[in-house]
Amino acid sequence: MAITVEEVYETVSMTLYHHFDIRTVTLGVNLKDCADRRLAGVRGRIGPRLVKWGRALNHHADRIQQEFGIPITNRRISTTPIALLLEPLPRRAATIVALARTLDTAAAQADIDFIGGFGGYLQGGITEAESHLIDALPAALAATERLCGFFNLASTAAGVNMTAVERFGHVLRDLAGRTRRGIGCAKLALFANVPEDNPFMAGAHHGIGQPDLALNIGISGPGVVRAVVARHPDCDLTELSEVIKRTVFKITRAGELIGREMAHRMGVEFGIVDISLAATPAAGDSVAEIIEAMGVSRMGRPGSTAALAMLIDAVKKGGAMASGNVGGLSGTFIPVSEDAGMIRAVRSGALNLEKLEALTSVCSVGLDMFAVPGDTPADVLSAIIADELAIGVMNHKTTSVRVIPVPGAKPGDLVQFGGLLGSAPVMRVPRQAAAAWVARGGRIPAPLQALRN
């Protein structure tokens, strides 16, 4: 399909004035063949492979960014779920932390922003190796800078592993206490129905059904969408949906072009384009501000859920028409700390935890990057996780939780995390929730929707 001069000018304008970028290029790397009964053997295979491909990713990203004039903001690697490599290794915390340091050091040597995959799939149960990984996780993430962890605790096919959910309430408390302002918890995402090809951290990993190497692209353009919505203040919602679809179509085409060209130059398979709208702390680069530009007075007030549902539907339709390789999460992120409009909504009282949870029933990802008091009981954290994962299971969609218990913080405090993580107002949560229910453990059975064979 030919690209006109007007489209080129429009893309340049989106880049210069509305924060359009390739939010991430994420190279998925298979490590299954690195398994060994000796820790030295695993580390000796993993390190050189990740450094080699990480440097190649950076080299080609720099060249393409220069040639095409579209910023590539983050360069990342996702690996095979590390729980698989732990199965034949000694079941010691020191082994797990050493493996974490190997991944982190390789990312640093290759100048990769983040490396993901330090986790596993627990929706159906927990192996002995995975149990040791859960126990060692706070120490591993506290000892590293670029390493991110994920765990899939639920799926529509398997239900919700409440034994795992109960343990992660304690893991989050421990991890928060080991890191400044609890920031280590921002590097851990807990999922229902996790996709194997997600390019966005902290949940990125190279799933077991993926090839040896695959390049996945995460695009983002909330600033672009907000600007185009603001230019149509009087059209009806059907027309507004069409405007958003056309805009996302153009954004996705740019991502597809960059992704295929990079994959070709690197000699790897092109994976997917994730069309998620992902906010940043920059002014005007906000999903909440898109909702407000549609006519909702403040994100979180009545009308927000319906407006967000319309937005995500238009995003998916526009992206799907532009690429045959749409995948990953592909929706709308609503992290509190990384979105200036979400922060304003919380601080003004328009948005609370209950409304945020309601919004996640129609958006992608779920309860993302929100802060709570550091003394929030572990069972309350587990109950929050369970509620969110249940939404994903019952609606056959991906949901996740990234909650940050901030040591010493109280509701209303504004905690500065810095960089892309922004700042977060500490949200009020109940001191009591469902301790006896969470303590039962076991598994919430899969819903009837799982019987699709």
Over the stretch 122-135, which tens digit does the pLDDT of each residue have?
999 999 999 999 99
> Per-residue pLDDT averaged across 173-192, rounded?
94
Specify the pairing of strand 114-116 against strand 147-155.
Answer: parallel
pLDDT per residue as tens digits for the range 305-357:
999 999 999 999 998 888 888 888 887 888 888 888 999 999 999 999 999 99
How far apart are the C-alpha atoms of 422 and 71, rounded to whole Å?
20
pLDDT at 16: 44
pLDDT at 19: 54
Q: Has residue 231 got a pLDDT over 60? A: yes
* Domains of the chain listed by start with CATH number: 29-54+71-192 (3.20.70.20), 216-444 (3.20.70.20)
> Which pLDDT band, with edges at 50, 70 and 90, does 90 fall under?
confident
Q: What is the CA angle 144-147-151, rounded to 5?
A: 120
Q: Of how many residues is the chain composed?
A: 453
> Which pLDDT band, with edges at 50, 70 and 90, does 13 fall under?
low
pLDDT at 21: 74
How far apart are the C-alpha atoms of 239 and 174, rounded to whole Å?
49
Give the burial class of 180: count Cβ atoms within 10 A of its Cβ; 0-12 exposed, 13-18 middle, 19 or more buried.
exposed
Which range (116-125, 214-223, 369-378) has the least confidence? 214-223
pTM score = 0.91
Residue type, 368: D
Please give the radius of gyration of the chain, using alpha carbons only, rounded to the nearest integer.
Answer: 21
How far apart are the C-alpha atoms of 414 and 367, rounded to whole Å?
18
Residue type, 277: L
Per the model's pLDDT, the better-predicted residue between 65 and 141 turns out to be 141
Handedness of CA 349, 350, 352, 354 (dihedral sign): positive
Q: Residue holding tokens 């820790």? A: 39
> Which pLDDT band, with edges at 50, 70 and 90, does 66 fall under?
confident
> Per-residue pLDDT averaged across 32-38, rounded?
92
Which range (21-30, 52-61, 232-241, 415-424) has the least confidence? 415-424
pLDDT at 10: 56
Q: Has residue 17 got a pLDDT over 50? A: no
pLDDT at 418: 76
3-state secondary structure the chain: CCCCHHHHHHHHHHHHHCCCEEEEEEEEECCHHHCCCCHHHHHHHHHHHHHHHHHHHHHHHHHHHHHHCCCEEEEEEEECCCHHHHCCCCCCHHHHHHHHHHHHHHHHHCCCCEEECCCEECCCCCCHHHHHHHHHHHHHHHCCCCEEEEEEEEECCCEEEHHHHHHHHHHHHHHHHHCHHHHHHHHEEEEECCCCCCCCCCCCCCCCCCCCEEEEEEEECHHHHHHHHHCCCCCCHHHHHHHHHHHHHHHHHHHHHHHHHHHHHHCCEEEEEECCECCCCCCCCCHHHHHHHHCCCCCCCCCHHHHHHHHHHHHHHHHHHHCCCECCCCCECCCCCCCHHHHHHHHHCCCCHHHHHHHCCCCCCEEEEEEEECCCCHHHHHHHHHHHHHHHHHCCCCEEEEEEEECCCCCCCEEECCHHHCEEEECCCCCCCCHHHHHCCCEECCCHHHCCC
- Which residues on neighbouring strands pair with residue 147, listed in sequence order? 115
pLDDT per residue as tens digits for the range 425-438:
999 999 999 999 99
pLDDT at 97: 96
Residue type, 170: H
pLDDT at 20: 65
> Per-residue pLDDT averaged across 236-256, rounded?
89
How far apart are the C-alpha atoms of 207 and 451, rounded to whole Å?
24
51 φ/ψ angles, rounded to the nearest 5 degrees: -65, -45
Q: Has residue 115 got a pLDDT over 90? A: yes
How far apart are the C-alpha atoms of 327 and 253, rounded to whole Å?
14
> Per-residue pLDDT averaged across 90-118, rounded?
94
Q: Has residue 8 got a pLDDT over 50? A: no
The fraction of the chain above a pLDDT of 90, given in percent, is 67
Q: Residue holding tokens 């805009």? A: 247
Neighbours of 230 (CB within 10 A): 14
> What average pLDDT does the chain have?
90
pLDDT at 250: 84
Token pair listed for 167: 């343990």
Q: Has residue 410 got a pLDDT over 80? A: yes
Q: Which residues contact 238 (CB under 8 A, 6 or more apart)?
A: none
